[in-house]
Chains A and B, each alone.
Chain A
Amino acid sequence: MNVKLRVWRQAGPDTPGKFVEYEATGLNPNMSFLEMLDEVNEDITKRGEEPISFDHDCREGICGMCSCVINGEAHGPEYKVATCQTYMRSFQDGETITVEPFRAKAFPLIKDLIVNRSAFDRVIQAGGFISTSAGSAPDGNAIPVPKQDADAAMDAAACIGCGACVAACKNASAMLFVSAKVSHLNLLPQGKPEKDKRVLAMVQQMDAEGFGACTVTGSCEAVCPKGISLNFIAKMNRDYFGALLRAPSKAKAAHAD
């Protein structure tokens, strides 16, 4: 199959970018979108031009490195997959495909289709961890965890931090990512002691990074390759509310110590 690509090319953060058209010919419909880009890059390289820069790593949908907004949809037209698991058979023969980087002020562009998603790392550093002494693994049932909580925590922990939620949101909001990361720890007994501190700090960092607020459009949930639910955002709203109410008495108790 053949497709025409309109790819965003930008040499660096401070240089102006533009769309450049490429012909991708003789494609196997079962190629992934990234393999198609590899083929196009081969041709570009042979012509002595600069190949298209794009992020990728595991190419099996678990690392969260690949990005791209394809025809206006983060990770392309397929449901619950990343760009690496989007196949050319999802497109029409002869179609013009527009490929853009994730657009958000908090994700500054590095080159072509690559954006800097370190803002997510800084949100995690603000509270997405458990302060406990590392030692040998505890006995399997030493800490009781209800099955439902374990399942919900696992669903939240499935977030691969790709940033598609931010890319798809009309407000470039990171609520789905942050709520998944807050919830997977807040739901478990190991995460409970720092529950309030965690949600306050991570939300504060999220706001400081310049992400927008949540309008509950549901676009994030729809494009998420791991199907993270909007209900985690509701849970984070709930956790934050509780943390706000409890903060003064905790601060007072800490002061008394």
Chain B
Amino acid sequence: MSPLLRLAKSSLGKKYLMAFTGFGLFGFVVMHMLGNLQVFLGPDAINKYAHFLKSTPELLWGARLGLLAMVTVHFCVGIALAIENMQARDQEYAVKRAVKATLASRTMVVSGLIVLSFIIYHLAHYTLLTIHPEYRNLHDDLGRHDVYRMIVLGFSSPSVVSFYVISVGLLCFHLSHGIGAMFQSLGLKNEAYVERIDCLAKIVAVGLFIGYISIPLAVQIGMVK
């Protein structure tokens, strides 16, 4: 069997694909947060950043297509694995006990699917602007798209904010297990690193959660307006 075929067909190969795409998507989640946090530097900083991204389509579309490919692979391979895993036990236990397994590790499929539905909503909300087409007409004094105002308007609704906080919470919950598991699947763990990696995964997940939710909460309490 060729290595590529093994990569696609074997359970270990599928886990490599999950880890590689998961790593790429994790990298995006970090970069996206850093980009978003510029909202605290004022309208000029974030509008300039958004204008920079939009005015370099080579970069923007490269990133978008890359992300789309990674999400697609992560989703399809994840579903394939979930089906195989379910089929591996045809009769369930009468008494189910999850020994040692954390809730995050047992609910990766569920948290992943909810996060996917959030991503679709989030793209419709802030990228495609299908939910609020009027955001398209927001421009700052320099004629750039006023992303700052769009964020403030978007997060002024408490229901949008609560959905956002729950979804980002689930994403970080997914990552609290996923980051560590990614190292395990690629064989990048051993006795010396295992505890540090698992601990760091949880710290990073909490850090991302705080970073992301700080923006809608700042809008809600009127710090960003």
Contact residues of A with B, CB < 8 Å?
Answer: 6, 8, 19, 69, 71-74, 98, 100, 103-106, 168, 170-173, 200, 203-204, 206-207, 210-219, 221-223, 229-231, 233-241, 244-245, 247-248
Contact = CB atoms under 8 A, between A and B. Distances in A.
A234 B90 contact: no
B89 to A, nearest CB: 4
Given A171-B85, A212-B89, A231-B189, A223 B99 contact: yes
Given A217-B98, A218-B100, A241 B11 contact: no
Interface stretch (B12-20, B47-55, B116-124, B132-140): B12-20
Given A71-B97, A98-B94, A98-B95, 18 more contacts: A19-B94, A71-B95, A168-B99, A171-B85, A203-B10, A206-B11, A210-B88, A211-B11, A211-B88, A212-B85, A212-B88, A214-B11, A217-B98, A217-B106, A218-B101, A229-B191, A237-B186, A240-B12
B190 A231 contact: yes
A72 B97 contact: yes
A212 B11 contact: yes
User: What band does the interface of chain B fall in when counting residues whose beta carbon is under 8 Å from A?
Assistant: 35 or more
Contacts of A218: 100-101, 105
B90 A105 contact: yes
Interface string B6-28: 11011111111000000000000
Contact of A244 (B7, B15, B194): B7
A193 to B, nearest CB: 20
B99 A219 contact: yes
A61 B145 CA distance: 70
26 contacts: A6-B94, A100-B95, A103-B92, A105-B90, A170-B101, A171-B85, A172-B89, A206-B11, A210-B87, A211-B11, A212-B11, A213-B81, A215-B108, A216-B180, A216-B185, A217-B98, A218-B101, A222-B99, A230-B184, A231-B189, A234-B194, A237-B187, A244-B6, A244-B13, A247-B3, A248-B2
Nearest to A223: B99
Contacts of B9: 207
B13 A105 contact: no
B101 A237 contact: no
B14 A217 contact: no
B181 A72 contact: no
Nearest to A98: B95
Nearest to B81: A213
